[in-house]
Structure 1
Amino acid sequence: MNPREHPTSTLPRRWLSAAAAVTASALILGGAVSAQAHGWVGGSGSDLTARAALSSNTGLGAIRYEPQSLEAEGGFPATGPADGRIASAGISRFGELDEQTRTRWTKNVVSPGPHAFGWTYTAPHPTQEWRYYITKSGWNPDDPLDRDDFELMQVVPHDGSAASTRPVHTIDIPDDRSGYHVILAVWEIADTANAFYNVIDVDISGATGPAPTPTPTPTPTPTFAPGPDTAAPTAPIGVHSMATTAYSVDLMWAPSTDDTAVTGYRIERATGDGPFSEIARVTGTTYQDTSLAAATAYHYRVSATDAAGNTSAPSAVFSVTTRSPAPAAAAWSSTGAYVVGDVVWHNGVRYVCQQSHQGVGDPNWITALSLWRPQA
């Protein structure tokens, strides 16, 4: 068999069966089936399939039913999922993907050279670019994946239009790699600060053997020239909420830049028509504002600071209204019939129905984001 023709399924059969059942029940109940989440590597025209969607992988947990949902902050490797949680995009309910040993996952058998990386999109967002990384020679396949394991292979730029206008990319797998490696595909969205993360396990055959591992060059400690640093960072952009509940707002924004280094962000909040006041200082580009009032309008702006104490202009104001208090909820039933907006309890978590459906007894449906969303 040609290594590039290694048989892989674009979606696990059980996921397809569940999706078909959901679609059918939604039609029976008169509900429209809307695409949830966004995309994964694999499908028509692709030589390779991502870990989350490869049918021969076992013990995948909830991600088996929604391989398109691996969304996190973009900007990898400077930002993005934490080390050890890259495969799951830092999403705890998909933590099985972060298990890492040399034998844990089925490999796509490939050779060095060009390969087609095709994406299946359920929501083809406006796109900035795709970036493809591969583990370095000498990486340890029995340790959790971290940033230092990867080096950039190739960037595929895009013009901000929908991702579906360019679903297949030709990527060169380097000929100085052999055996087990992991490829990381990062899909950067143009109109939010987020990206989608797919890891792809490969067995590279026919390589010329690994090149000598270069001695890493130490990263110098930043130093400042004589005289004060007077240049302020750029203002943060793209402030938005990743999740808004009755009592919390989960903020995220794109990182600022500076001539030396951005050291943190100052978050201000105003309630209704009131004045802005500082509520937090953080080093990253996310902040969860909690203990808020339900059904209340809030306004946020974010400023960046550098090591010399310079502060950027504030971001554009982001306004959001918290949700109304959730109604009383009954216990979820795997065989129940539900319509959009229904609220249930399951294992101490409140869920709201995303699309009308008739349960068929599958206990995993409560974790499918296409059907149910957890609420704070």
Structure 2
Amino acid sequence: MSTSSPNTNSQNISPRHGHVFSPESRAYFAWLEGKLDDGALNQRESGKHFPQTVGGLKDPLAPDDVLSAAPPPDGKIASAGQLTGAFLDQPGDHWQKHEVRSGESLPVSWNFTANHPARRWEYFITNEDWDCNKVLSRAQFGAKPFYTVENKWQPFWKYPNELMPPSPTEHDVPLPTREGYHALVAIYVVADTGMAFYQVIDLDFKKPDEVERPDAPTDLKASDITNKQVKLTWNPATGPYPIDFYRITRNGTSTVDIKEPLTEWIDRSVAAETLYEYFICAVDVRGNFSMPSRAVQVRTPAEDGAPTAPLNLHSMGQTSTSISLMWGASTGSAPIENYLIFRDGQEVKSVSGNQTSVDDTGLTSDTIYQYSVKALDLNGKLSLPSNVLSVKTLSGSGQDPAWELNAKYEIGARVSHSGRIWRCIQAHISYAPGWAPGEGGNVLWVQTT
């Protein structure tokens, strides 16, 4: 079983697993503004079972899931306790907001670049009397989520296909009664690790008589995707007043206005092997904007028709003789037939195109290896390589090894650190210096000598 989590040290490789892109989360807005890079956007991860405060808990539905790590402390919920993005925890009403109404459904879309079996998604919202000038804390939310989407298959290792969420994953979240500014926390709970992903969405609840806007366009689709164009189509919108035009937004920036009654547009300004996100709003003759449609994300193929490079190659853990690798899937004009794994520049393994992880075994202890992955499609076209990942196997000596960053530790493992010997009490991967023995609240290690 894997117990991995995204990197909390921005200088190391980040798994970059997922985020909410529609409506734009607080982290996504920061990414659009250049305040977060791709890794930091997707590493809003901490322990699951919020609003609990301690780790080591069993899942109430699936007791065979990996035990939880400690959830983020009060005041660090929006950042998930990560140093990168700590500014997301600032109190105040200055955050960009989405206009909503009580009782309507909010379409929420998650993107995953390297996903895990999903146990559930939980949605919390601030209490009616919350104070936005105080940091987000457990006292600002109810004890239970107001909306939950849950997968009941268990144990998780018997149902990998049923539990693996598609990307994007979309939920219609019915909003409770609120007025004015409120913060929604969306949490993606993972089955095969102790972690969950945290995304804050800032909402401005309008009174019914304050908004007379059109309905959002539906069924936005992307098709005819090449390295030079993306075609968008959608269903016409309706509202209290006639629709004047549709405004298409790409990657957070308005792209074009399409006069009604047209319901399609071809974006001819795209680049090869690039990720694009689109959503569309309807605007009526009085200038009222609808809520945005569900967003769609597409990645354009390479210029020569080859598949895109595998995404975000990272280690899921290592021992003294093996390294577990995982990456995000490639796409292209033809199905992916195989992924080729390269170690130190030489091809060492090949796996099927529907597999995005592999264990490389028979390695030498205490040794650094460099990995990359390429995708091969049914037409025999080979992608560019993924990022190059450097990983060191654990020490194989009889003595207790020194604690290391990016190492996989099981319960009972012993390490030396700061002149003392420590025993692991919670399985994890050491993704940040703050996870070292003796640091923080010592929820991972106990001193033995």
**TMscore range, shorter length:** 0.3 to 0.5
Higher RCO (C-alpha under 8 Å, 6+ residues apart): 1
Normalising to structure 1: TM-score of the pair?
0.46
